[in-house]
Structures are given as C-alpha cells and as structure tokens.
Amino acid sequence: MTTSALFTLSGLISDSNSSTSSLYSASSLPPSSSPFHNSTTDFQNQTVCSAEDEALRWPLAVLYSLFFLFGLVGNLFALWVFLFLHASRNSVRVFLINCAVADLVLLAFLPFRVFYHINGNKWVLGSVACKAVGNLFYMNMYISIALLGLISLDRYLRLKGKGKARRGMRIRLCGRSWPWSWVACGVLWGFSLMAVVPMIATAEDKENNNKCFQYKQRNIAKGKAYFNGVLVLMFWLIFFMMVASYARVAAQLLKVSRDKPDLPNAQRYQRTAKKSFFVLFLFTVCFGPYHAFRPVYILSQLSQTISCDYLHLVDRTNEVMLLFSAFNSCLDPVMYFLLSGSVRKTALRTLGDRLGNRLRSLNDVTFNSSTVDYRRSSAPNLEVNRVSNTPRSSICASNTTLRRTDMTTLPPTRQK
C-alpha cells in the first residue's frame, strides 16, 4: 500500500469518526455539553427531547377514563344529596357543594387527555385550546384544595368559638350580612378566574399545535414557572393549616370523650376524631407526592442546561404524580360523607329507602304473579267439583256465592 493511499484511508476514518461523534452529541446531549445558549443546539434539543414516553400512553388513557367515570358518578350523587336531600344550611354544606362543582369541572377536561393519549399523543384542537384545557384543569384542582383547607378552618373555628361563632360567622358586605362561607367561595372563584386568563393568553416558549400536556421549557415564559411556584407554596401552607386544625379538633374531641365517658356522644366524638385523621390521610396521599416533586419539575423548566435522559425522567415522574392528584376527584365524595354526618345519614337513608322499595316491589310482583298462577291452575278443579253446570263466565261469582251460602245458610241439623 502506497503512502498516498494510507493518507487517504486515514482521512476517511477521521471523517467518519467526527460525523459519528457529532451525531452522538446531538442525540444524547449530556449535561456538560448541551447548553441552551446556542440557537442551533436549542433547536436540536427541542427536536430530540420533545419526544414523549410511549410506554405511559395507554396506561394514562385507561386510568383517566376510570377516574372520569367513577368521579362523575360519585360527585353527581354528592351534589344531588347536597342540593335536594340535605336540609341544613351550614357553612360546611356550602364548601362541599363548591368542591363537588370544582371536581365536576376538572373531570370534564379528562376526556381531552384521554383522546390525546389515544390519538398517539397528537393534539388536534390548537394551542389556545390546549392552554385552556390544561390551565382550567389545574385551576379546579387548586380550588378543591383551597376548599378543603377552608373546611378544616371552619371546623376549628366552630369548635373553639362561642355563641354566634359556633352557629357560623357572617361578614357584612355591600350593606348586607353574608355567611362567611359564601364570601370565601365567591372570592376564591373570582381570583381563580382572574389568574387563569393571563396563563391562557400568555405565549409559551414554543407553540406547537400538534402537542399538548408535554414538558415545556420556561426560558422565555418564566412568569408561568414562578406562578406555579406560588401555587406550590400555597398548597403547603394549606396542608400545614389542615394538619394543625384537624390535630386540634381531634385532640379536643378525644379529650372530651376521655374525660366524660358517660356522655351520650362520647363514642361519637372518638369516631369523628378518627375520621378527621382519615380525611387528612387521603389529602396527603393524593396531593402530597405531586407537590413534593413539583419544585424539581419547575427548576428543571428554568434550567439552562439539562440532558434528555433527565428531562424524560422528570416528565415521566410528573405524569405519575399527577395521576394521584386526579384520583382525588374520585375520593372526594368519600371525604364529603366523612366530613358531614347529617349528609351521610341522609344519603344512606335515601339509598336504603329506594333499595328497600325496589326490593319490596319486586317481591310483591313475584308473590302476586305466583299466587295468580296458582289460582289459575287450581281454580278449574275447584269449579268442576263444586258446580259442573255453571258457565265459565260466572265461575268466580258462583264460587263466592257457594262459599257464603255454605257458611251462613246451612242449618245446624244437617251436621248431625
């Protein structure tokens, strides 16, 4: 082999190695070699790292479908009980009605997620509809979180208050006295709608009409990342307020039941204390993991250097944690009936009455039909034995007449 041939071969090998190394760097993008300061590198990273995990597509579609079905039935039944069966007008009932409405609105957006995953993670309604669906979903989730926090605060104030505070606080507004629960719910819905409109109107870093619910960088739209951080802080404030409120309520109820065991409601106080801890447990399981991981997710969105593997891990973990939060919409009806004993009794009594009436009607129909069949099968024999010359149209009347004459007109001498 000549010297020129050797130089030519070495040149080809070096060219192939350089192209292979450049392809590897564009596909893997490790943290040390993939900064987003260059527009070309940024485009490559957005192109390669925007791919979603196909393994989660069908599990997410199935689970969100189940959440939608069970949550819709449970919250509609709870709302029906609150509006048409439950007669009391206390503040807890107002909060629970608003919580059921928030859950129903949240559930109304789950079919969009289901269709998105079934359609191969392809969005067909445009970027504005995507932002509207996503932000309204989160808005109602945080409304239900805030309402559960207000319920815990209301229970604590009722326990510690005296006189009018136990019956319910009122706020004077526009020259009229309003229950504080109505004012709190109105303010909560108003501020939520005012906050969600800028989130929908503000542009993302990269508008993509074919994608939705995917991981998004916040290098330009940093205000959205900061707003999500404020929501996380709000959640933890509500969480610790709920822990403190339910702990004080449970401690007070357990103290009363322990110090005065002869009271008629001593055992009831113990059960109420245990239910308070169960409500707090469900709240922690559903929302705790998501908001514990949320700061990691927000920091990754603001980061200028991130690898594709880390991005996929963050996105996959966030999707799994979000499932727990969406699952709360199915468990909220359980919380409603645990928080309000009168609502629980009304619902159980209504279900029992309706089920009992249904079973009773079925039993009556079965009994009557079997009796009629028995009478139809036995009546001809009786008719033939008693009156053989009576026409068919007057058999029943003749039988009744014969029975009455046998009982009333036979003289006692015929029995001898």
385 occurs within a structural domain = no
307 occurs within a structural domain = yes
SS3 359: helix
Q: How far is CA 273 from the centre of its chain?
A: 24
Which tokens hold the place of 361? 């009607």
| Segments forming the whole domain that contains residue 79 | 50-339
Residue 84 has pLDDT above 50, yes or no: yes
Average pLDDT taken over every residue of the chain = 75
In this predicted structure, what is the pLDDT of residue 188?
Answer: 96
Residue 267 has pLDDT above 50, yes or no: yes
| 364-387 pLDDT, tens digit each | 443 344 444 444 444 444 444 444
| 291-319 pLDDT, tens digit each | 999 999 999 999 888 888 888 899 999 99
Residue 290 has pLDDT above 80, yes or no: yes
CA atoms of 36 and 306, how far apart (whole Å): 8
Give the rounded percent of residues in the chain with a pLDDT score beyond 70.
Answer: 68
Q: Compute CA distances 413 → 78, 402, 408, 409, whole Å.
A: 73, 19, 13, 12
In this predicted structure, what is the pLDDT of residue 385?
Answer: 46
| Most confident residue range from 192-201, 255-264, 329-338 | 192-201
Q: Considering only 50-64, 297-311, 338-352, which range has the smallest mean pLDDT? A: 338-352
Which tokens hold the place of 92? 């807890």
**Cβ-based neighbours of 329, under 8 Å, separated by 6 or more:** 67, 71, 75, 103, 106, 107, 144
20 occurs within a structural domain = no
71 occurs within a structural domain = yes
293 occurs within a structural domain = yes
| 104-114 pLDDT, tens digit each | 999 999 999 99
Per the structure, the count of domains in the chain is: 1
SS3 171: strand
| 139-163 pLDDT, tens digit each | 999 999 999 999 999 888 888 765 5
Which tokens hold the place of 48? 């390669």
Q: How confident is the model at residue 170 (pLDDT cuts 50, 70, 90)?
A: confident
Residue 255 CB coordination number (10 Å): 12
- What is the average per-residue pLDDT within 182-206? 91
Look up the pTM and report it: 0.72
17 occurs within a structural domain = no
Q: Which helix (H) or strand (E) holds 177?
A: strand 176-179
CATH number of the structural domain spanning residue 334 = 1.20.1070.10
In this predicted structure, what is the pLDDT of residue 19?
Answer: 40
Is 264 in contact with 320 (CB distance < 8 Å)? no
Cα atoms in the Cβ-side hemisphere of radius 13 Å centred on 155: 28
In this predicted structure, what is the pLDDT of residue 89?
Answer: 73
Which tokens hold the place of 194? 């005012």
* Length of the chain counted residue by residue: 416
- What is the average per-residue pLDDT within 114-134? 92
313 occurs within a structural domain = yes
414 occurs within a structural domain = no
